[in-house]
Structure 1
Amino acid sequence: MGYYIEVERGVKLYVEDIGEGIPVLMVHGWPLDHRMYEYQAALLPACGYRCIQVDLRGFGKSDRPWHGYNYDRLADDLLAVMQALQLNQVRLIGFSMGGAVVTRYMSRHRGFGVNQLILIGAATPRFTPTSDFPYGTPVTEVDKLIKQAYTDRPQLVTSFGEMLFANPVSQSLRDWLRDQGFAATVHSMACTLYSLRDSDLRADLPCIHVPTWILHGKLDRVCPFPLAVQTQKGIAGSKLIPFERSGHGVFYEALPEFNSILLSILAPSSTP
C-alpha cells in the first residue's frame, strides 16, 4: 500500500507500507528512492515483518520543496513518519546517504521508537576528509558533482550508477537504478550533495544506544570501507559485517548473502 504523510505544512513524503508484524523502516540513498529495496521488500513481509519504505523529500514520489535538505530536517521528516504511523520497536535501516540521515535521527531524536539500527554502505561518520579525518571523497570531487548536477544531471546519474557495483550487473539493472535518479530533482540532488560534503556525524555516533550493525562492501568506491571501520569505532557495541567482494550496492551485488544476513539481524533475539 502506498500513501502520503505530511511531514511539515505543505510537504508530504511518499511511503510504501507492506506486510504485518515487526516494523522495518528503510531509508534509501542518494539519488535513489524506495524502489532500491525491491528485493528486500519482496522478502520481509513473507517473513513476518512490516516493510515500510519512505522516499526522502525531493526524491522518488515525495514532494519537492525548495527547502529542507540538511540532515536535521531530513531526520525530522523521519520523526514525523514515525509519529504519524505510531511506530515503536522499529528496525531502522539506512543506505549510503540514508545511513547518514538515520544516524542523525538517532542522535537528534534520541532514537525515538527504534530498537535496532542497520547501516548499509553508510556515508558516516563523514563523507569527505578533514585535517583530522583522512577518509572519504575529496571536497573538490564533491564540488564537481554539484556543478555537474546543475549542468549535466543525466550524465551525473549515469556515472554514479557505474560506481555502485564492483562486479558486472545487467544493463537493465543499471537502467532501473538510473531511472530512480532521474525521478529526483536537480535542486534536491545538489542540496543533499552539499549536506554530504559538509556534515560531520562523529559527535552523533556516541548517542546511538541500540544494537547496531554496519554492513559494508570492502570494494565500495562511493563510501570507502574505512568509513565503516570508523563508524564501528564510534558506536559502542556495534558490529561491522564486511562483504569481501562487493562494492557500494551490496544490497543487490551480494543479494543472497545480504538478505540472509539481514534476516538473521532482524530476528527478535539478535544481538551484535
Structure 2
Amino acid sequence: MGYYIPVERNVNLYVEDIDPGNGKPILFIHGWPLNQEMYEYQFDQLPKLGYRCIGVDLRGYGKSDRPWTGYSYDRLADDILAIVDTLGLDDFTLAGFSMGGAIAIRYMGRHVDHRVSKLALVSAAAPVFTRRPDYPFGMTKEEVNKLIEGAYQDRPQMLSDFGNLFFARYVTESFKNWFDGLGLVASGHATIQGLIALRDEDLRNDLPKIHVPTAIFHGVQDRICPFAFAQAMHAGIRDSELIPFEKSGHGLFYCEREKFNRELAHFIG
C-alpha cells in the first residue's frame, strides 16, 4: 500500500508499506540518487517471513515532493522522525543503504535512537564519504564536484557512469537500465543537493551516540564506499557487528540478495 505523509508544510513524502499483519517493522531508507523501489528484492521476500517492510522516498526522490530546500542530513533525519511518529512505529529496525545509512546514523544521533530497537547499515556512506586529512578513504571532494558538474551538464550520462561502479558481479543490460532509471526519477536539484551533503557531512561524532544493536553489511569489493568505511563504523559504534560480503561491491542488496535477506532477517530475529 502506498500513501503520502506530510513532514513539513507543503512537503509530503511517499511511503510504500507492505504489512503482512503484526510483523516486526523495518523502515528502509534508500541511497543516492535512488528511491524505495531499489529494495524490490527485499520487499518480495521479507514480508513472506512476517516482516512489515516500509520504504520511504526521501524528499526530492522517487514519488515524493521536490522542495528547493531541506537536503541536509539534519533535515532528512527530521523527515524520518515525522514518518516514524505519524505511523506510530515502535521497536522497529531502521535500515539505511549508502546515503540512507548516513541519514540513519544522523537520525540515531540527533533523535536519541527514537523508537529504534535495531540499526542495519548497508553499504553506508559513513562515517565520512570524502577524504579528509585524518580520514584517507573514499572519493576526494574534487571527484564529487565532477559528479555535481556532470549532473548539471548531462545527468543521465553521469548516473549511468556512476551506476557502473555499483555492482561487482554481472548484471543484465535490462537490470542496469531499470536501475539507472530509478535515479532519473529524482529531481536534478535533489540529485545535486544529495551530492553536496555526501561531500560535506561528517558523522564521526554521531557514532558514539548509537546505543542499539547495530549490524554493518558491507561489500568487500565496494568501489563507492570502500570496506574501510565499514571498519571505521565498526570501530566507532559500540558492540556493532560487521558482516562482510566477499562477492559484492556497493550493490550487495542485489549481488548477494539471498545472503543479505537471510542475514538481515537473522539480525532482526
Determine which of 141, 148, 152 is the counterpart of 1:146: 148
**Percent of aligned positions with the same letter in both sequences?**
55
1:226 aligns with 2:228: yes
What's the Cα RMSD here? 0.6
Deviation of the 1:167 alpha carbon? 1.4
CA distance in 1, matches of 2:36, 2:24: 19
1:11 aligns with 2:18: no
1:264 aligns with 2:269: no
SS of aligned partner of 1:173: helix
CA distance in 2, matches of 1:258, 1:85: 26
Q: 1:67 matched to which residue of 2?
A: 69
CA distance in 1, matches of 2:232, 2:102: 13
Matches within 5 A, 1:105-184: 105-184=107-186
TM-score by length of 1: 0.97
Deviation of the 1:121 alpha carbon? 0.3
- Poorly superposed stretches of 4+, deviation over 4 Å: none
* Partner amino acid, structure 2, of 1:94: G
Q: 2:194 matched to which residue of 1?
A: 192
Deviation of the 1:221 alpha carbon? 0.5
* Partner amino acid, structure 2, of 1:204: D
* Partner amino acid, structure 2, of 1:117: L
* Partner amino acid, structure 2, of 1:115: S
CA distance in 2, matches of 1:7, 1:257: 34
CA distance in 2, matches of 1:13, 1:76: 12
Unpaired segments of 5 or more residues in structure 1? 268-272
* Partner amino acid, structure 1, of 2:175: L
Deviation of the 1:255 alpha carbon? 1.4
CA distance in 1, matches of 2:133, 2:243: 28
CA distance in 2, matches of 1:266, 1:40: 14
* Partner amino acid, structure 1, of 2:132: T
Unpaired segments of 5 or more residues in structure 2? none
CA distance in 2, matches of 1:59, 1:110: 26
Deviation of the 1:245 alpha carbon? 1.4
Deviation of the 1:94 alpha carbon? 0.1
Determine which of 24, 37, 40 is the counterpart of 1:38: 40
Q: How many residues align?
A: 267
CA distance in 1, matches of 2:240, 2:55: 24
Q: 2:214 matched to which residue of 1?
A: 212
Q: 2:56 matched to which residue of 1?
A: 54
TM-score by length of 2: 0.98
Matches within 5 A, 1:66-85: 66-85=68-87
* Partner amino acid, structure 2, of 1:185: S
CA distance in 2, matches of 1:198, 1:161: 22
Deviation of the 1:266 alpha carbon? 1.5
* Partner amino acid, structure 2, of 1:29: G
Determine which of 53, 70, 91 is the counterpart of 2:93: 91
* Partner amino acid, structure 2, of 1:89: D
